[in-house]
Amino acid sequence: SICVGADALALVVSERRRRRMEGSEVALRREAVRRRLAGESPAAIARDMGRTRQWVAKWCERYDPSDPGWANGRSRAPAERAP
């Protein structure tokens, strides 16, 4: 049916949009940490990026040069428990 095709297309488009937004978010996190490591104040970084000082602090705390995925988001879903 045409509706099923349209629904499938909408899911693909929304998934692509989510990935693009996620990628740009990772880039913002990396940029904030780069600027902080260069000595810029958290307040200045936050103001320029339209974020909060707490956001800048969070990503600076999560920064791990040995982990290439440090800037990726983490799931907020509760951990599953074994029965």
CA angle at 56 for the pair 74 and 80, rounded to the nearest 5°: 15
Please check the confidence at residue 19 and state whether its pLDDT lies above 60: yes
Instruction: Determine what percent of the chain is predicted with pLDDT higher than 90.
Output: 59
pLDDT in tens, 36-75: 999 999 999 999 999 999 999 999 999 999 999 999 988 8
7, HSE (Cβ side, Cα atoms, 13 Å): 4
Rg of the Cα trace of the chain? Answer: 18
Q: How far apart are CA 19 and CA 42, in angstroms?
A: 27
C-alpha distances (whole Å) from 13 to each of 7, 22, 25, 35, 80 are 10, 14, 18, 33, 30
Please check the confidence at residue 11 and state whether its pLDDT lies above 80: no
- Whole-model pTM above 0.75? no
Q: To 10 degrees, what angle do helices 42-49 and 2-37 make?
A: 150
Please check the confidence at residue 33 and state whether its pLDDT lies above 60: yes
